[in-house]
Amino acid sequence: MQISELNLTKRRLLGGIAVTALGALLASCSDSSEEKPAETKTAPAGEEAKPAAEKPAETAPAEAPAAKVEVPQPDGTVDMADVLKPGTLPEMAMGDANAPVKIVEYMSMTCPHCAHFHENTFDAIKTKYIDTGKVYFVLREFPFDPAATAAFMLARCAPQDRYFPFVSTFLKQQRAWAAPADGDVRGAMLQMSKLAGFTQESFEACLTNAKLAADVTAVRDRAAKDYNIKSTPTFLINGKSYSGDMSVETMSALIDSFL
């Protein structure tokens, strides 16, 4: 999602926080029939039975080699040691901090490309690389609109060990709360948050926390100023920057190129 692409209708959400309603985004069978006995033929009287002609052995066609996945080219380079320095908020990370591959993802909670990545790619990458000690993964906030800022604030107000599940749930249900049929973004966010243990009081207290709102915005501003982040999702990987959604195969090829 590019900053210039946003053209959204703002609404008021608690204590002066505006929210934006997004437009609409985005068998197997088994045959268990019984075998029939082989049919035999008897030669007429006086004639010698002729052996059946042998058929040449059939060979299965060779499988075509799997297409090689092209490794994406970086958009630019960054000082990864500087990138990994903590900012205004505690780092939300997964994996071994000493892993050979370091990934920092900047994403927005209202970005459909980010939602697609986390719904279709992230879990497989986590299992294959993060859980096995090959990748250290950091998620950072880059909200494009007040609704995304509010969603990140709620994730930060949840218990720290619930941050990633909260973000994952909100991304997978993005259309339900960011573009509800009745247009009530605030109400939809409240209902989603209640599933994560919020009450109406804790929901309102979180979204009226001016310091937290400023800290979330500071994470975004640092990324834009220091690392030239302009779109989401953007991945900073071992000193190189890559923007855009990626499939499991593409991101795997990219990570493998650093191992």
Q: What is the pLDDT of residues 55-101, one digit of tens each?
A: 555 555 555 555 688 899 999 999 999 999 989 999 999 999 999 99
Strands (DSSP E) found in the chain: 9-13, 17-21, 76-77, 92-94, 101-107, 135-141, 234-237, 240-243
Tell me what pLDDT residue 68 has: 81
User: What 8-state DSSP symbol labels residue 129?
Assistant: I
Binned at pLDDT 50, 70 and 90, residue 5 comes out as very low
Reported confidence tier of residue 1, pLDDT bands at 50, 70, 90: low
- Highest mean pLDDT: which of 5-14, 56-65, 136-145? 136-145
- The CA distance from 259 to 255, in Å, is 7
User: Percentage of residues in the chain with pLDDT exceeding 90?
Assistant: 71
Does this model's pTM top 0.85? My answer is no
pLDDT of residue 37: 38
Residue 54 has pLDDT above 80, yes or no: no
Question: Is residue 123 scored above 90 in pLDDT?
Answer: yes
Residue 195 in contact with residue 233, Cβ under 8 Å?
Answer: no
Residue 158 pLDDT grade (very low, low, confident, very high; cuts 50, 70, 90): very high
Residue 153 · residue 212 · CB < 8 Å: yes
- Tell me the pairing of strands 234-237 and 101-107: antiparallel
Contact criterion met (CB below 8 Å) for 137 and 101 = no
Q: What is the mean pLDDT of residues 19-40?
A: 35
Domains of the chain (ranges; CATH) run 69-256 (3.40.30.10)
